[in-house]
Amino acid sequence: EAQVTQNPRYLITVTGKKLTVTCSQNMNHEYMSWYRQDPGLGLRQIYYSMNVEVTDKGDVPEGYKVSRKEKRNFPLILESPSPNQTSLYFCASSWGRGSYGYTFGSGTRLTVV
Amino acid sequence: AQTVTQSQPEMSVQEAETVTLSCTYDTSESNYYLFWYKQPPSRQMILVIRQEAYKQQNATENRFSVNFQKAAKSFSLKISDSQLGDTAMYFCAFSNLQGAQKLVFGQGTRLTINP
């Protein structure tokens, strides 16, 4: 089944404790991206990657890091999480420029206390 | 920068009724893509329908159709014969063909279908 797999689904952590949210796709998509969803704001792009070793900032990159060492994987790293990073996170992938839409993972609910 | 606005935070209709969700956007580009995504309580993001800006014909997918007004920069979603399973958050999204690749989302409309 073609899908984007995110883990974990839920995560509660403490301020300052480094964490990684994993994302993997099995569709050989070139493009991958991370979004965060907050009430009243919709989804906003954090980082994106056009291909292996090619990443760039989205609209809200502060406090996040990413890497793209393999085509299928695009982990999101929070090196020192803070409470304002409490949010619902989505990984997405697509062919080319996404003209046929994006496939999303099932989301990660992160709470930073 | 592109922006997408959904002016209806919440809507509620009875089962089998028709409902229209509004979306407006702002862009200086002439070619782009527009999407409606559904997010049920499971929080999965599901693509409902897509529209290519250079196509004048409105997209249709079964009970879902759009009213795309390019000059007015409006992209509304009509759900006919609404079903309980249509209860969800709906997001309008814009994708450009130039510059940074991303989906720009509206704030979302929470739709409730009542039995």
For an interface test with A, give the residue of B38, B51, B102, B110 to mutate (most A CBs within 10 A): B102
Tokens encoding B71: 């000059």
What is the least distance, in Å, from the CA of B85 to any CA of chain A? Answer: 18
A80 CB-near residues (< 8 Å, 6+ apart): A15, A16, A18, A63
- Mean pLDDT in residue range B82-96: 95
Q: How buried is residue A97: exposed, middle or buried, by Cβ count under 10 Å (0-12/13-18/19+)? A: middle
Whether residue B103 contacts residue B91, with contact meaning beta carbons closer than 8 Å, is answered with: no
Q: What pLDDT does residue B100 have?
A: 63
pLDDT of residue B99 exceeding 70, the answer is no
CB B19 within 8 A of CB B87: no
**What is the band of B96 on the pLDDT scale with cuts at 50, 70, 90?**
confident
B83-87: average pLDDT: 97
Positive or negative: CA dihedral B55, B56, B57, B60: positive
Inter-chain contact A98–B97, Cβ cutoff 8 Å?
A: no
Q: Residues 6 or more apart from A77 whose CB is under 8 A from it?
A: A18, A19, A20, A21, A64, A65, A66, A67
Q: According to the model, what pLDDT value does residue A19 have?
A: 97
Q: What distance, in Å, lies between the first and last C-alpha atoms of chain B?
A: 41
What's the pLDDT tens digit per position in B21-36?
999 999 988 889 999 9
Residues in A lying within 8 Å of B, measured between beta carbons: 31, 33, 35, 40-45, 48, 50, 56, 58-59, 88, 90, 92, 97-102, 104, 106-107
A43 neighbourhood in chain B, CB within 8 Å: 91, 103, 105
Residue B48 scores a pLDDT above 70: yes
Query: Stretch B77-97: mean pLDDT, rounded?
Result: 95
Contacting residues for A43 by C-beta, under 8 A, at least 6 apart: A35, A36, A37, A90, B91, B103, B105
Please tell me if residue B31 touches chain A, with a CB cutoff of 8 Å: no
At residue B97, the pLDDT reads 76
Hey, which bits of chain A come out as E strands? 4-7, 10-13, 19-25, 31-38, 42-51, 54-57, 65-66, 76-78, 87-94, 103-104, 108-112
Give the mean pLDDT of B5-34: 95
B23 to A5, A90, B94: CA distances (angstroms) = 30, 22, 10
Helix (H, G, I), strand (E, B) or coil at B62: coil
Over chain A (113 residues), what is each successive 10-residue block's mean pLDDT?
Answer: 94 97 95 95 94 93 97 97 98 82 94 98
